[in-house]
Structure 1
Amino acid sequence: MTVAGQAGDSVTIGVLADPDLPTRLAHSLRADLPGELELVLGERVSWQVQVNGDPFEAMYPDNDQLIDRARDYVSETSWDLALCVTDLPLRDTRGVLVAVVDPTAQVALISLPALGGFRLRHRLRELAVAIVAGLRAHRAEPAEVPVPIPVRGVRASQEANGELHLLRRRPFGSVCVLAGMVRANRPWQLVIGLSTALAGAMAGTSFGVLYSTIWTLAVSLGPLRLAGITVAALTALSTWIIIGHSLWERRAPDTDTRDDRYLALRNAGTVSTVVVGTIVFFLALYLLALAAVALVVSPDYLATTLGRPSDLGDYCTIALMATVLGTVAGAVGSGLEDDVTVRKATYGYREQDRYRLAEQRRRARDPS
């Protein structure tokens, strides 16, 4: 789709983004969009992309308020059109909302979790180019028909108020949202936050590495039992983190003032994040244990202890058993972590933090 432009014209695209991951991806758009738009649209204009990292009160789980706030914000700028990127999931009865586009106001609201957990930069760039093309086409020739915004896996639906909703169908859309929420949480940061748990885990792992009784026990267990105790250790650590730090959200009593439609989704995102973080924690601990076993235990001494020739599989099994012991010790240590440090790696905490900030701003504007 090509919209004619005069040589020397300048088009300013504003990208308004929530903090953290949306803001980082918005800066990638600033680098990627001009070249992509010139290639796709072929307009003889100078594309300018400006980024503003601000939550724009996107902590409200009501997409009508989100798009209204985006319109208000953009009306105070000199931008020609605006892309607002939020890490809030947006849903309606027909599926998962990827974006809400207002061709008249030249504003689009993009829900980052709906893009999934992988290749976010590529997917966001693809969607942004398609939306900008649609907005430019509408500006050149306003029409009542939906603005064509071709994006794979997404269908467009024009609403009665003139907005265009881009949706993914369930259940694939729900899977994408959950993966996107976990990606936004950056579960690997949970490992960094579990410093006390890591210290306890290292102590437990050292016990498994240094005691020959553990070696004999480890190699005597079959694959099913090893798998079982591994799953049990991961479950124990995950459960301890969730319960010990009150990460599981319950329905708020003030449901009249707070929309809890996303409670189940936030809890699912929290559990998934903790599970992924726990697995990363376990794998990192396993690599350390394997290196320690290989460094400390000589093949001859291991063969003497086992009463038979040793091989690589024995080292891997002993390291696995040591890691299981360390993970159980780490579960106990995780209860001593600072709550804020752990909760920062979960979606629910950030949502609650933004909700409190929004309430403070609302009360400041309307003390009554």
Structure 2
Amino acid sequence: MQNVKVGLIPAPELPTEVAEKLLNTLPEQFNKFIDSSVSFEVALNIDPMTGAAENVEEILYKASDLKERKGWDYAICLTDLPIFTEGYVVAADVSVKHGVGQISIPAFGSMPIKRRLKKAIVQLFGELYFQSSSSEESTSGMAQGAIRPNRNQTAFRLLKKQFPISPVRRIEDDGDSEIDIRFIVVPRINGRSRILIGMAHANRPWGIMPSFKKVIALAFATGAFGLIFPTLWQLSNLFTNLRLITLTVIAITGMVVWIVLAHNLWEKPAYRNKRKLRNLYNNATLITLIAAVMMYYVMLFALFFIAVVIFIPPAFFKEMAFLNEPAGVIDYLRLSWLSTSISTIAGAIGAGLENEELVRNITYGYRQKRRYQEVQQYD
């Protein structure tokens, strides 16, 4: 039985995590959907180049060189590089002449990333496998229901299914480009929204809060101290919902802005960075921090709600807050809401005191950290 070796080359961090989860399932998927007459062997090679290069061709050349050195027949890169062509977001590239494919993970948005990427990898490999002249002899042994070697159907069919809201268009390059086939997301606005969400997902905002234990402790201590006095109780009864919502927005916005300014997370113009990419990374940073601070806010809210329910009797709450009847769940929720907003502002000050390198490491994904280092080097 013929043995076909496929190299999977992910960038560090999120792409690597996804690749490691998919590694053992891909040979079976290739046999099922592509060719049952051969034995597929999938190898993993984590390469920082895939997560550091800003140029698509540079990544493809690197992957092609690695493919030759490792003795693979094909290679597929998983990169966190946002790729554009003529204003459109690129989901995947295929270089038939090099036997290399590339998938841009940010183009897939957020969850469920593993399942969607698995299908995309299978389809992209099908494009490579059937477009290469060396595989034409193997098509007679294709599995039932396998992808047919049709230039218009191979990767396009299932890749399209991974973008139900944003249609995918398959384009071919007959010029001198190293890229033979591209899959772009249309319309442009859908692709940009999806890639921003994908970049923020690559930054893993859920991983920020565990590193902010001291900030959460400071914020909770501040709010708990404020709850000793009846002023907050009375204000929670007097404030309208609109005022509470406004205070929440101010608190979250203030904390995000303070973290960005205090830790120099806003990428400034430099001769090496392009304005379009710079704005994209800055917006991704904002989305990452907003998501993280909202998680932080919900966590604090839950802590305060538990605290006030346990320690403040309903009758005493009624007396001190001048309520018309004993405090109910809504009253406790409003008090927790107000306490959370006020303590979030205090938490912002605590976040500003955290180590700058620590904050940058937990806020940025691998690519943004490399990009920041390069900007600082040439600034």
Per the normalisation by structure 2, the TM-score is: 0.86
Counterpart pick for 2:191 among 161, 167, 173: 173
Partner residue in 1 for 2:250: 232
Preserved contact between residue 9 and residue 50 of structure 2 (Cα < 8 Å):
no
Q: 1:220 deviation in Å?
A: 1.1
In structure 2, what is the equivalent of residue 209 of structure 1? 227
Q: Distance in 2 between matches of 1:129 and 1:323?
A: 47
**1:149 is aligned to 2:155:** yes
Separation (CA, whole Å) in 2 of partners of 1:266 and 1:358: 13
What corresponds to 1:130 in structure 2? 123
Q: Is the 8 A contact 1:114 1:173 kept in 2?
A: yes
Contact kept, 8 Å, 1:266 with 1:347, in 2: the verdict is no
- The answer to whether the Cα contact below 8 Å between 1:96 and 1:173 also exists between their aligned partners in 2 is yes
> What is the CA–CA distance in structure 2 between the aligned matches of 1:208 and 1:316, rounded to whole Å?
16
The one of 305, 312, 318 equivalent to 1:303 is 318
Secondary structure of the residue aligned to 1:43 is: coil
CA distance 1:263–1:42, shift in 2 (3 Å) = same
Q: Distance in 1 between matches of 2:338 and 2:8?
A: 50
Check conservation: 1:117, 1:183, Cα contact below 8 A: yes
Structure 1 partner of 2:295: 280
Verify the 8 A CA contact 1:14 1:81 in the aligned structure 2: yes
Q: RMSD between aligned alpha carbons?
A: 2.4
- The answer for unaligned runs of 5 or more in structure 2 is 138-148, 161-166
State the partner residue of 2:172.
158
Asked if 1:289 is matched to 2:307, the reply is: no
- 1:366 maps to what in 2? none
- Is 1:77 matched with 2:70? yes
**Post-superposition offset of 1:193:** 2.5
**Take 1:275 and 1:101, find their aligned partners in 2: how far apart are those partners?**
35
Change in CA separation of 1:359 and 1:14 when aligned onto 2, cut-off 3 Å: farther
Residues in 1 aligned to 2:22 and 2:292: alpha-carbon distance in whole angstroms:
28
Which residue, out of 336, 345, 351, partners 1:319?
336
Unpaired stretches in structure 1, ≥5 consecutive residues: 1-7, 361-368
1:317 deviates by 0.5
CA contact (8 A) 2:92 2:104 kept: yes
Q: Which one of the candidate residues 83, 101, 108 is aligned to 1:115? A: 108
The partner residue of 1:219 within 225, 237, 253 is: 237
2:280 equivalent in structure 1: 265
The answer to whether 1:341 aligns with 2:358 is yes
Deviation at 1:208, TM superposition (A): 3.5
Q: How much identity, in percent, do the aligned residues show?
A: 30
| Aligned counterparts of 2:112 and 2:50: Cα–Cα separation in 1 | 27
Partner secondary structure for residue 262 of structure 1: helix
Farther-moved stretch of structure 1 (121-130 vs 53-62): 53-62
Letter in 1 for 2:97: T
CA positional deviation for 1:265? 0.2
Q: Which residue of 2 aligns with 1:101?
A: 94
Mean Cα deviation higher: 170-179 or 71-80? 71-80
Q: Partner amino acid for 1:237?
A: M
